Chain A
């Protein structure tokens, strides 16, 4: 795959990841949003893996 395209995917994914973090912190006291964001972050981790990134566990237990 073209490097340019990969870089664009990576940028979108990083934005998604940052937005997920912001969403989780704004949703304090709203379990339905917090826990669904946790699931979303598990999917984001799979995307990070797909791009060969070294991942760290960021899961938060409610």
Chain B
């Protein structure tokens, strides 16, 4: 019988044995970075840390955390453009990528040939666990460029023995037609883009996406595929199973949803160490039931290591093991937001994901919406812009009342709801920017 695990050894390893491997790998990474990166060495020496100080799990938190600002600082100086973060000579670097942040200078990511293999290997865990096999023909509607996004997925698809179709420079309609022409069986994208693609198929090409033989979809880049209402929209639109995963340029592809769809993502604990830290106190959260921010270490990425990186992702441990048999722990509901996105409005903590979950639960609304938060005088105002589907226009009043009520119940806040003509709100090709906090501008 075929195994459901890409790595039947590590993915089912006894947790204590896994922890032993993790500690050794962690010690190894700290030593590697200390010996080879002037920046890491400086940071560790400032903290009075020697690699040999890491003797047990209690010592892990002694290692200073990294964040985006530190990565950027570490990239100042030579060798250009990776600076003092780099642990291998430039001539051993074979891959360049950069973060997709919208503000300021991006972080440049150097990977050696082996690091790049590691990237695709980490994606193999994702794809195998989601049922991708050699018989699949996989369409990747991604503008292959300086952002890492689905590059590693491309090579993982290839490593699994599937057939990969790079849907690079095509426009959305051409991509749908190519998928139809080639009868592709799986694809990948951001939830936003895949909903947009379904809309183009239906309304511009007259093709019901469900008639295409896509049976599985892997999402990334946004939390949508772990938000039940958005996942359902995607599954209904494409007639396919939709799976989530989470990853980042500076980190790697660190988690995945398996075919059991247990309401969370497995942390790939063979390749990564995930710690959860209380946002307010900094205390380590080891038990389920409390959210915190993720501090993550990539164990086997060497040219530009990622050690105790504060990703700002908000996660929490899942209380139950997964029925799939993996011993890798689950994070409940995937990445629930980012610590820098969760904001206080009218004194109440608001997560953009909570609004998405409500809006996408209304079948009478289109896939697009936009939220703005403003301060007028000393009052704060949240405006939700939506589009009603033509079939729902006669029930507008009733739908808006239900929507306002659901939003109040789920977010404890009141909203001004504006109905906009269908198709008038912005459509996004990659990551959407639907939440706009104008208080930070005015």
A interface residues with partner B (beta carbon < 8 Å): 29-32, 35-36, 38-39, 61-62
Which chain B residues lie closer than 8 Å to A35 at the CB level? 124, 159-161
Which chain B residues lie closer than 8 Å to A62 at the CB level? 133-134, 160-161
Question: Per-residue 0/1 for B121-147: is the Cβ within 8 Å of any A Cβ (1 yes, 0 no)?
Answer: 100100010000110000000000000
In whole Å, how far is B240's beta carbon from the nearest beta carbon of chain A?
Answer: 22
Contact, CB under 8 Å: A32 / B121: yes
Partner of B134, one of A30, A36, A61: A61
The complex places the Cα of A33 from the Cα of B121 at a distance, in Å, of 11
Which chain B residues lie closer than 8 Å to A36 at the CB level? 121, 159
Which chain B residues lie closer than 8 Å to A61 at the CB level? 134, 161
> Can you list 10 A-B pairs, Cβ within 8 angstroms, ordered by A?
A29-B2, A30-B3, A31-B7, A31-B124, A35-B124, A35-B160, A36-B121, A38-B159, A38-B161, A62-B133
Question: What total of A-B pairs shows CB separation below 8 Å?
Answer: 34
Is chain A's interface secondary structure helix, strand, loop, or mixed overall? helix
B interface residues with partner A (beta carbon < 8 Å): 2-3, 5-9, 121, 124, 128, 133-134, 159-161
Which chain A residues lie closer than 8 Å to B133 at the CB level? 62
Which chain A residues lie closer than 8 Å to B7 at the CB level? 30-32
Which chain B residues lie closer than 8 Å to A29 at the CB level? 2-3, 8
The complex places the Cα of A56 from the Cα of B419 at a distance, in Å, of 64
Which chain A residues lie closer than 8 Å to B161 at the CB level? 35, 38, 61-62
Closest residue on chain A to residue B11 by CB atoms? A32
With A36-B159, A39-B159, A61-B161 already in contact, the answer to whether A31 and B6 are too (CB < 8 A) is: yes
Which chain B residues lie closer than 8 Å to A32 at the CB level? 6-7, 121, 124
In whole Å, how far is A17's beta carbon from the nearest beta carbon of chain B?
Answer: 19
In whole Å, how far is A35's beta carbon from the nearest beta carbon of chain B?
Answer: 5
Which chain A residues lie closer than 8 Å to B9 at the CB level? 30
Closest residue on chain A to residue B2 by CB atoms? A29
Which chain B residues lie closer than 8 Å to A38 at the CB level? 159, 161
With A35-B124, A62-B133 already in contact, the answer to whether A30 and B159 are too (CB < 8 A) is: no
Contact, CB under 8 Å: A30 / B160: no
Most central of B6, B124, B160, B161 by chain A CB within 10 Å:
B161
Which chain A residues lie closer than 8 Å to B159 at the CB level? 35-36, 38-39
Which chain B residues lie closer than 8 Å to A30 at the CB level? 3, 7-9
In whole Å, how far is A59's beta carbon from the nearest beta carbon of chain B?
Answer: 8
Closest 10 CB pairs of A and B: A32-B7, A61-B134, A62-B134, A61-B161, A32-B6, A31-B6, A62-B161, A35-B159, A29-B3, A30-B8
